[in-house]
């Protein structure tokens, strides 16, 4: 509603307007105050304005139908080239298929479509939506039959991302050229309504049209855990220098997702900011700042609480060239990998610009922040060799770090004991050909270390459930370049895709122990992605009961799998019998028709039955074929005279 208030004088009215305008009545309502003269400045309502009509509800069915499968089968999607429908010349076209994987059987098609997406596809974080990208925008598909849920208008999208709870969708489109207007090149949509909640100009944010990283926006913890008004959105703050932007900027912009306005209308200033990461469970930001030699300021790794913007802990370290941040899934601990040096050599040009920076004698370290209590402690651990990769166990106190050189690498598994002052090394494997990645299973306990994009393609499966982790299997998939776990941690998939793989494109599915279950070669495979599942936290008592009855439950599942395989074999046998019966039926019909038309054929061919061959009509002919030939030079013979 609205009201008109009259004051004794204009000065009092102006003061009242300045005080009341923008006053927050509550979390969802803001008071606005304007002078009566300002009404002339407002745009007049459109004379043809009509009230908006409610959009009809589009019922596409149950959005989570695949989660209700009694056998808990997982789904995956593949994007590759396939023979075009109706083509007579063997041409191929982009093809996307969604399949249900059943152990010991071929994947069962859920839906298959040509030209479903023009570039790539994407699953939403919880697997609710399938995203296709098109020239005029993107589309979301959902339900048991993957019907179109919504469309979002944004031309030439090249990047997209979701908030953790799938409430918001972020898209980025590259301007047509460097002079083109990039207003709203970054857009945030409401997933359910399709409304664009906020648009950003990358040129205004960064001072250039070059996207520094993706995802550009980083989201705090899920709104369902924190409440609808306690979620914040952060993006790197613009540094104000359009011509010569400072790498990393000097702060963070934090927006409230309630109305996408700047938190407290102020920037979070952090000098030398290079990168930051949200805690997966709490509104806490971890950040890393470069050292500033001119100010004699060391590098800084710290934790900041939002919205109070209070620094919970700041670790200052000298002689740091770079750093990476890794939160564990529970948000209890943060690991920071730092590269430290002994000496830094800076090469400058004649104008004084920095051309090259060289670091001598670099060493790798891991800093571990314990964020569970009020007082945050930090453990520092030097590494014996150069750092390659790192990953936390999702639900546990272990982590794996890969160290080594360009030729060989070593997986190291550590355990964090609260009674000890340093991480305990519980397993060190023999150095092998250089590994590039480490991935823990979603439920923990098992992990995979692999070398992507190499000729050997080694994949090591490790069991870390015991007191000492052991290797269960080592397999080879030459040339593969993508590795991923299914949402339950039962299967690991290695895929060789175009653009990165060095072998024949396709994918292979392994058990968590490393036994190969299925392999499928596909022409020009572009993407393989498991469909995510909604994360459900089981109570500790339920987990203990499951582990206690694991043997009995495993035997039951093995019996069900055996029956399922027998049922599948029976179905295949029955299908083959049906095909054979159909063939015999068609053959009998054709034989009967052939016999009925025998007299007609004789009349048309003058009484000659070509189906019967008489011995008198046979002509026997012998053909001699030389097996070998030899070229002989003839000599002239002398003829005696008479």
Across the range 575-590, mean pLDDT stands at 91
Burial of 608 per CB tally in 10 Å (0-12, 13-18, 19+):
exposed
The pLDDT confidence band at residue 181, using thresholds 50, 70 and 90, is low
pLDDT of residue 566: 72
Q: Which residue has the tokens 């339920």?
A: 542
pLDDT at 615 over 60: no
pLDDT of residue 614: 56
pLDDT at 517 over 90: yes
Find the helix or strand (DSSP H, E) in which 414 lies. Answer: strand 408-415
Contact yes or no for 468/426 (Cβ under 8 A)? yes
Calpha distance 480→501 (Å, rounded): 5
Contact yes or no for 423/415 (Cβ under 8 A)? yes
Fold type of domain 388-548? Methylamine Dehydrogenase; Chain H (2.130.10)
The pLDDT confidence band at residue 619, using thresholds 50, 70 and 90, is low
Q: What is the DSSP string of 558-607?
A: HHHHHHHHHHHHHHHHHHHHHHHHHHHHHHHHHHHHHHHTHHHHHHHTTT
pLDDT, one tens digit per residue, over 361-414 is 889 999 999 988 888 889 999 999 999 999 999 988 899 999 998 888 999 999
Mean pLDDT of the chain: 83
Q: Which residue has the tokens 């299925």?
A: 518
> How crowded is the C-beta side of 615, counted as CA atoms within 13 Å?
0
Ranges of each domain in the chain? 10-42, 388-548
* pLDDT over 70, % of the chain: 90
pLDDT at 360 over 60: yes
The pLDDT confidence band at residue 339, using thresholds 50, 70 and 90, is very high
Of 471, 435, 432, which Cα lies nearest the Cα of 450?
435
Beta strands in 478-579 (DSSP E): 482-485, 491-496, 506-511, 516-521, 527-530
Whole-model pTM over 0.85: no
Across the range 300-326, mean pLDDT stands at 90
pLDDT at 141 over 90: yes
Calpha distance 323→286 (Å, rounded): 12
pLDDT, one tens digit per residue, over 83-101 is 766 544 456 788 999 999 9
Of 273, 276, 167, which Cα lies nearest the Cα of 215?
276
């Amino acid at each position: 509603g609205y009201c008109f208030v009259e004051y004794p004088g204009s000065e009092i009215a102006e003061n009242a307007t300045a005080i009341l305008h923008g006053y927050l009545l509550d979390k969802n309502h803001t008071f606005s105050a304007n002078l009566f003269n300002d009404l002339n400045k407002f745009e007049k309502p459109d004379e043809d304005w009509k009230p908006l009509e409610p959009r009809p509800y589009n019922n596409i069915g149950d959005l989570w139908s695949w989660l209700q499968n009694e056998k808990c089968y997982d789904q995956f999607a593949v994007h590759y080239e396939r023979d075009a429908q109706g083509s007579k010349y063997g041409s191929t076209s982009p093809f996307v298929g969604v399949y249900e994987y059943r152990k010991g059987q071929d994947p069962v098609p859920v839906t298959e479509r040509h030209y479903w997406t023009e570039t790539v596809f994407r699953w939403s974080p919880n697997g609710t939506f399938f995203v296709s990208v098109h020239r005029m925008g993107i589309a979301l598909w959902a339900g048991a039959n993957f019907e179109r849920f919504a469309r979002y208008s944004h031309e030439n999208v090249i990047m997209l991302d979701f908030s953790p709870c799938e409430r918001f969708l972020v898209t980025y489109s590259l301007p047509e050229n460097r002079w083109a207007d990039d207003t709203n090149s970054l857009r945030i949509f409401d997933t359910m309504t399709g409304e664009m909640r906020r648009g950003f100009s990358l040129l205004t944010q960064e001072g250039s049209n070059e996207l520094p990283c993706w995802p550009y926006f980083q989201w705090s913890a899920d709104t369902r855990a924190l409440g609808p008004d306690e979620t914040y959105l952060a993006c790197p703050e613009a540094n104000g220098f359009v011509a010569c932007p400072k790498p990393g900027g000097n702060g963070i912009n934090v927006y409230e997702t309630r109305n996408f306005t700047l938190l407290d209308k102020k920037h979070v200033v952090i000098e030398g900011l290079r990168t930051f990461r949200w805690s997966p469970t709490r509104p806490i930001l971890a950040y890393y700042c470069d050292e500033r030699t001119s100010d004699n300021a060391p590098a800084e790794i710290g934790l900041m609480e939002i919205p109070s913007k209070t620094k919970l802990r700041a670790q200052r370290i000298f002689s740091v060239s770079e750093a990476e941040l890794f939160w564990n899934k529970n948000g209890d601990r943060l690991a920071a990998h730092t590269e430290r040096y002994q000496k830094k050599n800076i090469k400058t040009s004649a104008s004084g610009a920095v051309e090259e920076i060289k670091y001598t004698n670099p060493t790798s370290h891991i800093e571990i922040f314990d964020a569970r209590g009020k007082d945050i402690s930090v453990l520092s651990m030097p590494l014996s060799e150069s750092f390659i990769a790192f990953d936390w166990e999702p639900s546990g106190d272990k982590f794996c770090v890969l160290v080594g050189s360009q030729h060989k690498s070593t997986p190291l598994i550590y355990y964090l004991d609260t009674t000890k002052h340093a991480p305990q090394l519980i397993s060190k494997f023999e150095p092998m050909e250089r590994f590039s990645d480490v991935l823990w299973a979603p439920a923990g306990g098992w992990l995979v270390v692999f070398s992507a994009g190499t000729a050997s393609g080694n994949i090591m499966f490790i069991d870390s459930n015991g007191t000492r982790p052991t290797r269960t299997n080592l397999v080879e998939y030459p040339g593969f370049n993508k590795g991923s776990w299914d949402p339950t941690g039962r299967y690991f998939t290695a895929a060789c895709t175009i653009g990165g793989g060095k072998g024949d494109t396709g994918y292979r599915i392994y058990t968590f122990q490393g036994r190969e279950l299925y392999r499928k070669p596909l022409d020009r495979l572009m993407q393989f992605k498991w469909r995510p599942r909604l994360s459900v936290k089981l109570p500790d008592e339920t987990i203990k009961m499951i582990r206690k009855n694991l043997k009995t439950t495993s035997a039951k599942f093995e019996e069900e799998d055996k029956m399922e395989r027998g049922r599948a074999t029976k179905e295949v046998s029955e299908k083959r019998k049906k095909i054979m019966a159909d063939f015999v039926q068609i053959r009998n019909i054709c034989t009967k028709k052939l016999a009925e038309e025998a007299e007609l054929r004789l009349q048309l061919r003058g009484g000659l039955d070509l189906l019967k061959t008489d011995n008198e009509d046979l002509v026997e002919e012998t053909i001699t074929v030389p097996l070998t030939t030899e070229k002989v030079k003839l000599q002239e013979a002398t003829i005696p005279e008479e």
